[in-house]
Amino acid sequence: MFERLPSHWILSVKKVGYWIWLIPVLGIPLSYRESLDSAYANAWAWLVVGTVFGVIPLFDGLIGRDPANPSEDTEVPAMERQGYYRLLSLSTVPLLLGMLIWAGWVFASYDAWNWIGQLGWLLSVGTVTGAIGITVAHELIHKDPPLEQNAGGLLLAAVCYAGFKIEHLRGHHVHVCTPEDASSARYGQSLYAFLPRAYKHNFLNAWALEAQRLKRKGLPALHWRNELIGWYAISAAFLLGFSLAFGWLGVLFFLGQSFVALTLLEIVNYVEHYGLHRRKLDDGRYERTNPKHSWNSNYLLTNLFLFHLQRHSDHHAFAKRRYQVLRHFDDSPQLPNGYAGMIVLALIPPLWRAVMDPRVRAYYAGEEHQLGDSQHVSH
């Protein structure tokens, strides 16, 4: 729909369009309001999760791809200097945290829902804190200013996944698309084989990496300067606050939405690197990460919703680039739909493999041994 429009027009539309993240956030109170006095109260609780994974994949196909790459000589320097884009991402923090607290009150006090409605509410809220909250946190923790680092850490603490701040930067980005990375899915590996290892490894590796950092400073792992202790203390404070304010239902809500959010993150990790591998060089080292080591999904609508997270190829090649100037590369491996649609496919392994395995084999055409080397993880 927009692919033939001039790039500078699209960039102007996107500058405002990034505020589309407000739609799923505001969809939470909207679904509650519509459920009041409704004969279908339970159904309304599923509004956001149903829209994200049922409607957005269709609109990605209808609206089409994002044609705009900013000019490296003129537009990129100007866009990176604009505080507007930084303010836009930081503004998510108070609104998401406010929504989370309010949604916890609803979960604990609203009696029109049975367990079906409560499950829909947990999935909807977790989809927002995962898709918007963790996406923004991912953007912020890659940046140097302490304000952005701390804002990203706070969003991760709100879903009990602060270890991502350590493991993602010092683990995943170092070992991506190698056997050492639990966040890079192997060819033929199902989502349900991938998730348990990702949960376990990424939690434990974050502690190991932080212990190594402190050891180099001559400090023990359990030291107040261990960053993880601080962030997990904030998660514990959230949990205590929800418990005191809303009782055991508050605890269930906070832990439930956290699990949905962090699982959504790991499913996205599965989608982003499935079957892709950095080739091993003659000296035994892996080739340098480049834009061909991540699946790209350049659909305009979800690019806006997810602050260009789908331009993941550029992000892994140039991790410090800000979201507004991430580029699309035609020679990167391309997903056939936006992330929401690909997540739905990943949940159905036979369908996922029917769609994705031919694309992986095409990527490694002439180097089929790469696929054999990748299958060291049980499927």
- pLDDT tens-digit map of 209-252: 999 999 999 999 999 999 999 999 999 999 999 999 999 999 99
The answer to whether 231 and 207 are in contact (CB under 8 A) is no
Rounded Cα–Cα distance for residues 316 and 292 (Å): 9
| Mean pLDDT over the full length of the chain | 92
pLDDT category of residue 259 using cuts at 50, 70 and 90:
very high
**Whether pTM exceeds 0.85:** yes
Q: How deeply is 307 buried, as exposed, middle or buried, from its count of CB atoms within 10 A (0-12, 13-18, 19+)?
A: buried
Rounded Cα–Cα distance for residues 250 and 213 (Å): 36
The answer to whether 87 and 12 are in contact (CB under 8 A) is no
First-to-last alpha carbon distance for the chain, in angstroms, is: 39
For the cut 80, the answer to whether the pLDDT of residue 7 exceeds it is no
Question: CA 285 from chain center: how many Å?
Answer: 29
Q: Is 379 within a domain?
A: no
Looking at the 3D structure of the chain, how many domains does it have?
A: 1
Give the structural domain span for 342: 7-374
Q: Is 185 within a domain?
A: yes
Backbone angles phi, psi at 297, to 5 degrees: -140, 105
Q: Is 59 within a domain?
A: yes
Rounded Cα–Cα distance for residues 278 and 267 (Å): 21
Q: Is 1 within a domain?
A: no
pLDDT of the residue at 78: 93
- The residue whose two tokens read 């790469």 is 370
For the cut 60, the answer to whether the pLDDT of residue 375 exceeds it is no
The answer to whether 123 and 49 are in contact (CB under 8 A) is yes
> Which residue type sits at 128?
V
CA angle, corner 154, sides to 149 and 157, nearest 5?
125
Both tokens of 289, joined, read 């990460």
pLDDT category of residue 317 using cuts at 50, 70 and 90:
confident
Range among 32-41, 67-76, 272-281 with highest mean pLDDT value: 32-41
> Which residue type sits at 203?
F
Residues 6+ apart with CB under 8 A from 216: none
Q: What is the mean pLDDT of residues 352-374?
A: 79
Q: Is 81 within a domain?
A: yes
Q: Is 359 within a domain?
A: yes
Per cent of the chain over pLDDT 90 is: 80
Radius of gyration for the alpha carbons in the chain, expressed in angstroms and rounded: 21
pLDDT of the residue at 1: 63
Rounded Cα–Cα distance for residues 255 and 238 (Å): 10
Q: Is 275 within a domain?
A: yes
pLDDT category of residue 8 using cuts at 50, 70 and 90:
confident
pLDDT of the residue at 2: 65
Q: How many CB atoms lie within 10 A of CB 37?
A: 7
User: Torsion-angle region of residue 231: left (phi > 0), alpha (psi -120 to 50) or beta?
Assistant: alpha
Both tokens of 218, joined, read 């001559």
**Nearest of 52, 192, 171 to residue 183 by alpha carbon:** 171
Q: Is 2 within a domain?
A: no
Residues 6+ apart with CB under 8 A from 247: 108
Of 231-240, 286-295, 349-358, least confident by mean pLDDT is 286-295
